[in-house]
Amino acid sequence: MRIVLSSVQLRAGAFSFAADDFFSEGVHMISGRIGSGKSTLGSALAGLSEIESGKIILEGCGSPILLMQFPEYQVTGPTVVREISSWGVPRGDPTFSSLDVEISDRDPFTLSRGELKRLMLACVFSKDPDVLILDEPYASLDISAKEVLTGMIENRRGITIVFSHETEYAPNHAVWWKIESGGLHRE
C-alpha cells in the first residue's frame, strides 16, 4: 500500500508546490508554515482538487478520506445522529465513546468547536479507511482528547497523513516531512 507523488505540481495564483516521493503504510507527520501548501496537498491527495501536472497514484489502497481543518465544512446532517448516519457508521462504535462524543439529536452547529471536531474525528476513524488524511486534527481539542487522538493514530492500520503544527502530540513512530521552499521534504 503506497501513495506515489510522481512529479506533482500544484499551483494557485502565485503559490507553487512540487513533490516527487511516496507515502507508505504508517503515520506521516507533515509540518510547514502557514500558507506553505499543507491543506492544498491534503485536498489533492484526497482527490478533491486538481494538480497542475504529474500524477498521484494510489497503489493497493482505496480512496482516501480527508478530515478538513475546519470540521464545519464537512457537516451534512441536521442532527448529530443523522451526521453519524451520513458517514455510514454505527453510532454504537466504541470510537464515539473514546472521544467522548455525545450522540444526540442536537444540531451539529450548536456544538462547541471541540465537540464538533471530536464528532468528525469519530466518524472518520469509525470508517477505518485505507488512507486517512487529517488536516490540523489537534486544533480545538483539549489535552485529554489530543492524547486519545494520538493513540488512535498510532493504532491505525493503513496510511495516515497528518498535517499539523502541534507536533508535540505526534506518534513516536511517525515519518516526518516538512513543506518548505515550495516542496515536500522527508526529514
Give the active site residues: 136
Helix axes 113-127, 143-154, angle to 10 degrees: 10
For 3, the grid coordinates are: 501513495
Asked if 136 and 165 touch (Cβ cutoff 8 Å), the reply is yes
Supply angle C-alpha 29, 46, 64, rounded to 5: 80
Residues in the chain: 187
Pairwise CA distance, residues 117 & 64, whole Å: 19
DSSP strands (E only) in 90-158: 131-135
Strands 183-186 and 175-180: antiparallel
